[in-house]
Amino acid sequence: AVKSKEEPGSRVSRESRAIGFAAPQGPVRSDMTEDKTVRPHEPDGEKVAEEKSAGPGNGTGRVSAEPGFVHPEGGWGWVVMLASMWCNGSVFGIQNSFGILYVALLNEFGSEEDLDLQFRTAWVGSLSMGMIFFCSPIVSVFTDLLGCRITAVGGAAVALVGLLASSFIRSLGALYFTYGLVFACGCSFAYQPSLVILGHYFKRRLGLVNGIVTAGSSVFTILLPLLMSKLLKQLGLSHTLRVLCGLMFVLMLASLTYRPLLPRTPDTGKNTGLGTLMSSLCVFLCGVFIWLSTVGPSLLFLR
């Protein structure tokens, strides 16, 4: 007996009826069994992959090809750390040693018994210390625009000019400008970039590095009064200030080591700008508090 040919799909029909499903009539279409998965190497696959990988806030739907920034955690960063430590030491070493200069200024412009002269002389140091932190928001703007190196070198140069001009001054009124404003503003422009640049080289060790840099100011604060007292006895006030100008000159050279590493991108600039402004405001308020704490006792004493 000749076996009848089974039509394509008849076997499928009998099996489907056996389990209670209706089999599709007609031949099976090839597109039902064809794999429709889009491969990553195909153009449509690339578009899907980009859309899936686009994170929140990425409106372009494209993945950045730049690898993530890795902090060196050393290398040239140790040189930058030493330069930053010199900056903190020279700036705050001179500022914290103003008590030695205060006595010398009283003897230079009058007598230690003159109460009015005491108050006016104290204003020189108070104005200088307050202006370092008072200029913080302005310094932050210049640091974002010009970078750490240019801002720090320019600030050290201004501080050098202000301290050198103070050595030729023979009146307290002029010292308010040369020492209290020019020298202090230059120190402010040199001080803040020395802290910002540390974040370019360190992340995991940033706390340790900040501690070492801050310790530099304490070392200079301990040693500078001993040096300045001997210089005042042997050279006098004017030549002592000129010797201190050497610290500012070295600070200019040290600031040249502030080589930036973090890339500047428009997206991160908006976020870091707000953070820098907030931190600058905190430093500004801290400076106002320090300035009031130094000037306040003088006002009470004058009354």
State both tokens at 223.
Answer: 């040693």
Residue 41: Cβ within 10 Å count? 7
How far is the C-alpha of 216 from the C-alpha of 100, rounded, in Å?
Answer: 20
On average, the pLDDT of the chain sits at: 74
Mean pLDDT of the region 16-20: 48
Q: Write out the E strands in 134-219.
A: none
pLDDT of residue 222: 92
Q: If you classify domain 76-260+268-302 with CATH, what class do you get?
A: mainly alpha
pTM of the model: 0.65
Q: Contact at 8 Å (CB) between 188 and 135?
A: yes
Domain map (residue ranges) of the chain: 76-260+268-302
pLDDT in tens, 250-288: 999 999 998 887 665 444 444 445 555 555 555 555 555
Q: Contact at 8 Å (CB) between 237 and 148?
A: no
Q: How far is CA 14 from the centre of its chain?
A: 78
- Confidence check: pLDDT of 297 > 60: no
